[in-house]
Amino acid sequence: MTVYRIEIDRSLCSGFGACVEEAADAFRLENGVAVAVATSTDPRVLDAAAACPMGAIVVVEEQAA
């Protein structure tokens, strides 16, 4: 099972919320910026990273050891 580590670049995030639309389990908007869970096994977080208009989300694949 691949584990995805999520990082959000807060300097780029502008609160569009596309990530929330793609993967509401992993992302939410707080005070106009997105926050995410640290890790997730849901592959939809990759779509969320691609959907960000600012390219602020980085998803790193980690194989569970």
Partner 1 sequence: MRNDPTFWLLARASGLTSYVLLTASVLAGLVLKSRPFRSLKPAAVTDTHRFLALLGLGAIAIHGVALVLDRTLHLSPTALLVPGASSYRPVSVAIGVLAAELMLLVYVSFALRRLIGTRNWRRLHWATYLIFGAATIHGLAAGTDTVQPWAFGIYLGAIGAVAAAAVWRSLVLPSAPQPQRRTS
Six-digit token string for 37: 């869970």
18 binds partner 1 (CB under 8 A): yes
Of 14, 39, 60, 61, which one interacts with partner 1 (CB under 8 A)? 14
Tokens 């096994």 sit on residue: 41
The answer to whether 49 and 57 have CB atoms below 8 angstroms apart is yes
> Please, which of residues 24-53 interact with partner 1 by CB under 8 A?
24-25, 32-33, 43-44, 46-47, 50-53
2 binds partner 1 (CB under 8 A): no
The answer to whether 44 and 51 have CB atoms below 8 angstroms apart is no
- Residue 41 phi/psi, 5-degree rounding, is -100, 0
Residue ranges binding partner 1 (CB under 8 A): 11, 13-16, 18, 21-25, 32-33, 43-44, 46-47, 50-55
